[in-house]
Chain A
């Protein structure tokens, strides 16, 4: 297991000060600060909702005070790699909804695109504003060893967690100001400004004044609602729900106390099928009738574009290296994780023979649901997955079980290593692609666990990019 703090059994130099600091904290201070952090989260209302079969409850996300540190050299490479992927993904989306060059070049099987449930036929031939389909991409990055960062997936629809990135920092600064005086830590507080600039640069064709941006949320019961309101607040834009919007003569308005007000750009945090009941899911009550028509007639922009989700598909993910080469003519800066596509006969055979050594994922699954970690599963669970794969092979991919790197947490009162991943948030605007220097570090709080999702025992850490 690779522990990020050490190199040749010695503490790496940019972890030195933090390590000494953490070691020197008396037990009672650790307990006190932990409570303080929890109270701050509770007071500010940073919660997420968890759904089960009975009801939904608000929970606090567990926060660990030991920061995760990435050196500025390491970060530069991650940053370049993430930007490269974000540009490639947008070029790919633009291509497959228009002339489909990559399919003609036989680099990706036709069926994987055109028969993909995430491919939105209603988007074919439509020129989205500035050709940007997915302006906000959150790539999940894991570290295998000292040199090697790999990308696990690229979340192209509505990646969440950026509010934790910012709030974790706020809370660390409030609790341990002395650390921030001593160390030169890159700031993350510009994210909301960058996001607003990015969105504003994507104004639709028929917008000839300062564009009006809104965030569209499914509502306060959504698991990421805190984040929606947080971003609206920091960008100074309205947070709207479906019934706050209406379309008249193809123009989208929001209902205000002054009367109707035209909306130009919608940063939507709802799924495609809830956008417009006329176009997508007629049984949906939360959509805005006519919104898709307003979008296609160039009166409003929807970010991300409907149909962007296909780039999230885990089978498409396995083609990202080809996608980068095809559109950018560059070698991938960040590697993919080796992926077996069960739709291919050889791969399927290998996967079925090695289930105990692999992670099997549904191609459309997310949030750590619908996956099998072979080494941690019972025979029975493995057999259930075997049947699932045989019944519908193209719905599954498999990857080797990765030993994620670890970083210490304050476990009770002592330091103890736990596995982590990293999610930076890349913003793709009309002319600029930007990232703040930082990201969200998710940590699997259960000893030995590799699942970092907040819905399954994951917590978060502040992430510092440090000059060496």
Chain B
């Protein structure tokens, strides 16, 4: 397979995953806006949504003030925002279009029609908050459709590996960022009394990765504690948005590539090590290391894996 083809497949899947994550993040914002705004500080939630998606500076440059309608538009439709959902789908489509022949017609149709239909869902920008649930539903539906066609129709060959790797590099990054932006709410605190505020903050974090109900099921309806959340978001293999889950997937697919090409790679060795380490961790150990420190080095390591992976398969500069 051409290196550029692999690169285009990787990025198209990565952008689709990002569109999905952004939609889920906005769902949380929508929830907050439904709660009577009596307490101070809910604008903070919107700010942290901008921060998590890594576009706070871009937004403030354009709009100056925090406004939920503007943030929603900026994240969903604004073409000036390089990672708006619209741009994500557009770039994903462009990438797929460049390698039209490496995906099945069904995958292409799913991506192509998502792009053509996106605008139709926004009828009135002034009413964007009201229309938000429907738009989010639509985005999630399209992403599921695209992913479904990938799983059901693509050949399970190296191209498939690059698509899946795009998804999980993005997901690992996004989940790590969500936790990192709000890591302080997961710190053991002397003031901790299991109060409503903590509960509320934790449930928001779970919701932002669409895992609120999953969490309840996974822990049998036990009381929410910060260690359980750490365990769930980082170490639980049954949670598809946990860090360990993404690491396992990346490890698996890099391994497949090595076997397929009969070549070893630095990225594969490094991810194998990461997977081994994270398997042996526990929530209390992470708290001992310090959640923030743990995340910092996690992000550094996964970036290293990506860099090596990119060098080998996209640039041909690692032998």
Contact = CB atoms under 8 A, between A and B. Distances in A.
Interface of A: 42-45, 219-220, 225, 229-230, 232-233, 238-241, 243-244, 254-260
Contact of A45 (B4, B112, B158): B112
Interface of B: 1-6, 94, 97-101, 105, 108-109, 112-113, 116, 158, 257, 261, 263, 313, 316
A12 B97 CA distance: 44
Given A45-B112, A244-B2, A244-B3, A257 B101 contact: no
Given A220-B97, A229-B100, A257-B3, 12 more contacts: A42-B112, A45-B112, A220-B98, A230-B100, A239-B101, A255-B3, A256-B3, A257-B6, A257-B158, A257-B313, A259-B316, A260-B316
B132 to A, nearest CB: 27
A244 B4 contact: yes
Contact of A257 (B1, B99, B108): B1
Given A244-B2, A255-B316, A259-B316, A43 B113 contact: yes
Contact of A232 (B101, B105, B112): B101
A61 B108 CA distance: 19
Given A43-B112, A45-B100, A220-B98, A256 B2 contact: yes
A43 B3 contact: no
A239 B97 CA distance: 12
Contacts of B113: 43
Given A43-B109, A45-B108, A45-B112, A254 B2 contact: yes
Contacts of B1: 256-258
A255 B261 CA distance: 14
A219 B97 CA distance: 10
Contacts of A260: 316
Contacts of B2: 238, 240, 244, 254-257
Nearest to A220: B98
Contacts of A42: 112, 116
A241 B7 CA distance: 13
Nearest to B115: A45
A239 B5 CA distance: 9
Nearest to B4: A244
Main secondary structure of the interface of A (DSSP, over half): mixed
Contacts of B98: 219-220
Nearest to B312: A257
For the complex of A and B, 10 pairs with smallest distance between CB atoms: A233-B101, A229-B100, A255-B3, A220-B98, A257-B313, A257-B1, A257-B6, A255-B316, A258-B261, A232-B101
Contacts of B313: 257
Main secondary structure of the interface of B (DSSP, over half): helix
Nearest to A246: B316
Contacts of B4: 240-241, 243-244, 255
Contacts, number: 55
A323 B143 CA distance: 59
B101 A229 contact: yes
Nearest to A261: B2
B94 A220 contact: yes
Contacts of A44: 105, 109
B100 A233 contact: yes
Contacts of A239: 99, 101
Contacts of B257: 257
A128 to B, nearest CB: 27
A45 B257 CA distance: 31
Contacts of B316: 255, 259-260
Nearest to A241: B4
Q: Which among A220, A241, A260 has the highest number of chain B CB atoms within 10 Å?
A: A220
23 contacts: A42-B116, A43-B113, A45-B100, A45-B108, A229-B97, A229-B100, A229-B101, A232-B101, A239-B101, A240-B4, A244-B3, A244-B4, A254-B2, A255-B2, A255-B3, A256-B1, A257-B3, A257-B158, A257-B257, A257-B313, A258-B1, A258-B261, A260-B316
Nearest to B315: A255
Contacts of A244: 2-4
A180 to B, nearest CB: 21
Contacts of B94: 220
Contacts of B263: 258
B97 A45 contact: yes
Contacts of B97: 45, 220, 225, 229
A65 to B, nearest CB: 22
Contacts of A257: 1-3, 6, 158, 257, 261, 313
Contacts of B3: 244, 255-257
Contacts of A243: 4
A256 B162 CA distance: 13
A241 to B, nearest CB: 7
A233 B158 CA distance: 17
Contacts of B99: 239
Contacts of A225: 97
Contacts of A230: 100
Nearest to B101: A233
Contacts of B108: 45
B2 to A, nearest CB: 5
Contacts of B116: 42
Q: Which among A225, A238, A240, A241 has the highest number of chain B CB atoms within 10 Å?
A: A238
A232 B5 CA distance: 13
A433 B105 CA distance: 32
B113 to A, nearest CB: 6
A43 B114 CA distance: 10
Nearest to B111: A45
Nearest to B313: A257
Contacts of B100: 45, 229-230, 233
A52 B5 CA distance: 29
Contacts of B112: 42-43, 45
B13 to A, nearest CB: 15
Contacts of A255: 2-4, 316
Contacts of B6: 257
A106 B98 CA distance: 49
Contacts of A238: 2, 5
Contacts of A45: 97, 100, 108, 112
Contacts of A232: 101
B14 to A, nearest CB: 17
A108 to B, nearest CB: 42
A240 B5 CA distance: 9
Q: Which among B99, B100, B263 has the highest number of chain A CB atoms within 10 Å?
A: B100
A230 B3 CA distance: 20
B133 to A, nearest CB: 27
